[in-house]
Amino acid sequence: KQPKNPENPLAPRQPFDELCGTPVDGYFWGRSEIESVAPLQLQLNARIDGINKLLRRQEDPPTFVKGMAQSAQFVKSRLSKPGGYLVDANPNGSVQQLAPTLPPDLYNSLHETVQMFNDMGGFPAVLRGEGDPGVRAQGHAAQLTQNASPRHKDRALLYERQIGSVGTKSYNILKAKITRTI
C-alpha cells in the first residue's frame, strides 16, 4: 500500500473502475444483459423466416407437370401469367399446383415466443403501450407502469453509480493535475 500523499489525493487509488452490471466470478466482463433473450430472438427470427417461406410457397406454389408435350418450364411460365392459358395435344397431360396447406395454429408458437421474449426481457403489456384487461383509468395504468419498471431502474441505477465513480475519478485526476484556478 502506498503512503498517503497530501499533494496527490489519487496516490492510494488504482486507475481502474469496473463497469459491470452482472458480475460473474472469474470473468472480467460479466454476464451480458441480452444473454437471456438472445436465444429467443434467434427462435423468433427462425419462426418468422419459416412462416414467410411457407406463405411464399402458398402464394407461388410449385407446379407438377405430367405428360405434356412442352417443357415444364414453358408450361409453368404460361400458367403463371395473368390470363395465361395452355393448349396441349396430349389428352393424358396434367398440371397440378402443389400449394401447401397452412396449419390452423400457424401463428400460435410465434405468439408464445413473443410472450416469452417479453417476459424474459421484463416488458409487460403496460410497458409496451398495450392495454391490460381491467385497466380503465390513467392512474391505474401509471401505477402498473411504476410497479413494472423497477427491474429496469435497478439495472440503470447500478450502471449510473459505476459511471458516476468513473466521473468522480476523472474529476479528481483533473483537480490533481491542473494547478491553476479557473
The answer, yes or no, to whether residue 133 has pLDDT greater than 80, is no
Quick: pLDDT tens for 71-91.
888 888 888 888 888 888 888
In whole angstroms, give the CA distance from residue 134 to residue 114: 22
What does 20-44 look like in DSSP terms, one character per residue? -SS-BTTBTT---TTTTTHHHHHHH
134: CB partners within 8 A, 6+ apart: none
Calculate mean pLDDT across residues 54-58: 92
pTM (2 d.p.): 0.60
87 versus 136: the higher-pLDDT residue is 87
In whole angstroms, give the CA distance from residue 63 to residue 97: 5
* Mean pLDDT, the chain, whole residue set: 79
CA distances from 15 to 27, 96, 173 (A): 20, 74, 10
Alpha helix stretches (DSSP H) within 83-137: 108-121
Calculate mean pLDDT across residues 50-57: 93
Confidence of residue 47 (pLDDT cuts 50, 70, 90): very high
In whole angstroms, give the CA distance from residue 36 to residue 42: 11
115 versus 4: the higher-pLDDT residue is 115
Amino acid at the residue 25: D
Calculate mean pLDDT across residues 164-173: 85
Greatest pairwise CA separation for the chain in angstroms: 105
20: exposed, middle or buried (C-beta count within 10 Å: 0-12, 13-18, 19+)? middle
Q: Which residues in 136-166 are b (16+ Cβ under 10 Å) and which e?
A: eeeeeeeebeeeeeeeeeeeeeeeeeeeeee
Lowest mean pLDDT among 84-93, 133-142, 160-169: 133-142
If you search the block for the grid coordinates 439495472, which residue do you land on?
155
If you search the block for the grid coordinates 410449385, which residue do you land on?
62
The answer, yes or no, to whether residue 147 has pLDDT greater than 70, is no
Confidence at residue 51, expressed as pLDDT on a 0 to 100 scale: 93
The answer, yes or no, to whether residue 153 has pLDDT greater than 70, is yes
CB-CB contact of 165 with 19 (8 Å): no
